[in-house]
Structure 1
Amino acid sequence: MGEGEEPDPSGDDAGILKGGGILQSVERFAVLALTILAVGGFALGSDRLVDTRSSKAIGQQGTLIVLVPTRDGFVISSDSRAITLGVACDNSVKIQIPKRPALSVVAASGTATWITARVPLWPHDPCGDLDKNGVTIFDPKSEVVKYLEASGTQVRDADLQEIANLLTAKIIAVAEKEPAYVSAFAGKQMFNLILAGYEPSEQRTYVRSIELNLSPDGRALAANSNDFNLPPDGRPGYLNFGDIDNFRAVVFGEHKHYLPPSLEELLGKPSIRDVSNELAADVAVNLVEAAKSAKMYSIGGAVSAFRVTAGGVERLK
């Protein structure tokens, strides 16, 4: 992808990278219940698809999230770019820290914030226009944070089906008020939510993700989930979420010279228990920086990073 070339939003967050240094200890992949979007006689259909270039219904895309497990917990990082109607704004918060359970984080990629705004945006300051006049109609990341805080359930034990049901109910509510907004996702991924938690008694990191997609005819929601169980004797590596297909092609292709030297050091360690917090932080932060240096349009802005250990959650950047 060349400088200034915009990625296809439908390809954002196509999955979790496998192979060459990417963690592969997937404990379970599940297809959660399929939900038909029909409430009180209302049903989404492909005839409701709209051209978002002329619609007030818009969302945010673009993300790279990196998680590296360590002997003491994990480090998670993200960029801060959100792409709305082709406009890149570098002020998005993609990682949130729930008040409880302890030692947990929630992150999101894909169209992780649903907003409506007047169009066209201010030509001289489109990001400022979105900040001032954009109205958030659905924030799935915040919904999951509220769920965890209310239940107090550890990430390891969270009921992903229950979370998917909660999110589906919210989407149906949005669809009843903004049908064009939701039907515009037909045949595409909506968003991917990442829940990560550290269990000090087990010295183990749990990473769980829920991806929601809308069927091509715009009438059904499918929720898929991944579970990663990362024990201290597991193979070192990292997890990626977001615009990973482009990330792989660009950063591990012609721009691999931007990859941090610490990545090779990480992959050379015998096990996760040999990975220090400092090494993990260097890899997590600088993989995102590598994507920025490679001029990936979907990834940019300041890097945000957190370290999670038995002592708590600490913001690094």
Structure 2
Amino acid sequence: MGLEEDRSKSSASHNGSESESAAPNPNKDETTGETLDIAGTQFPSVVELNVGGQVYTTALSTLTRENTSLLGIIFSGKSKTPPLRDTRGRYFLDRDGHLFRFILDYLRNTKLVLPEEFPEKDRLQVEADYYRLPGLVESIRRARGGGANREKDQSTGGAQSRGGTQQHEASNKGGKVAGNNSNQSMYDTNQGGGVGSTGDSSDGFITLGYRGTFAFGRDGMADVQFRKLMRIIVCGKVSLCREVFKETLNESRDPDRGQGDRYTSRFFLKHNFLEQAFDMLQQGGFTMSASCATAANGMNQSGNPEQESEENRWLHYNEFIFQRSGSN
């Protein structure tokens, strides 16, 4: 009787061990071996992300490379809540989509690589903190420290140069000493090319463009109420655009931030006041050299009068080209 009881206990113990070893991993699909999220959905080996409206495609192994990071937790299935998806089924992260490229580069290469004179280190550090990447945070801090030292050296050298110029002002051949504009943008990379400078390095063109119409009263009243601009677009050399428009310049749609010696057509202004933009260009020493415009869209394109609003009839596009040169 005692022998049979021992055999029964041993069998039960053996079956329990088999049951424990066969227990499924909650974060793995036992059939395919793919990682699952909290809702039991498989993460594909190639993942599409929508980060603040910017779409990225990367390997699942890249996102999970740092397993203690936020991305590592989410895409290893360890997150308590499943990740959001956009209308096309891509995983959605409500963060800065442009700066995410540097987060992804760090995960791919395990090192930080930034463009020269990259102006958004503070914001990038905030993103690195959010994604829980302490190695990247430390790399950004070191990069910020080096940049601060360079700015201090340049500031000291610039002050000495201005002091020497002012002391010898009387010996200049009719030249004017350029004042230190306290509102000069921190993005201005032109040495000696401040507002009003006629040096060759600051010469160039800036183009403003806008699509606009006129806003009408309720029920399509014929009386025009006010001008309605969708957006003022800024095109030209990056350093010139930053110098002139300063903090009113929106660079969020430009994928290649940093370098001031390149050209872009992806800037726009944070306001819709055309005359304010003209004033800033005039203060920067620019004069209008050309302009062009389309006619208003007076014809009914839809063929159905009920579908054509008065605002659509007055749609038009204008461009203004401004120039600054030593001869101005």
TM bracket (short chain): under 0.3
Comparing both structures, which one devotes a greater share of its residues to helix? 2
The two structures have a TM-score, normalised by structure 1, of: 0.24
Name which structure has the greater RCO, CA cutoff 8 Å, separation 6+. 1
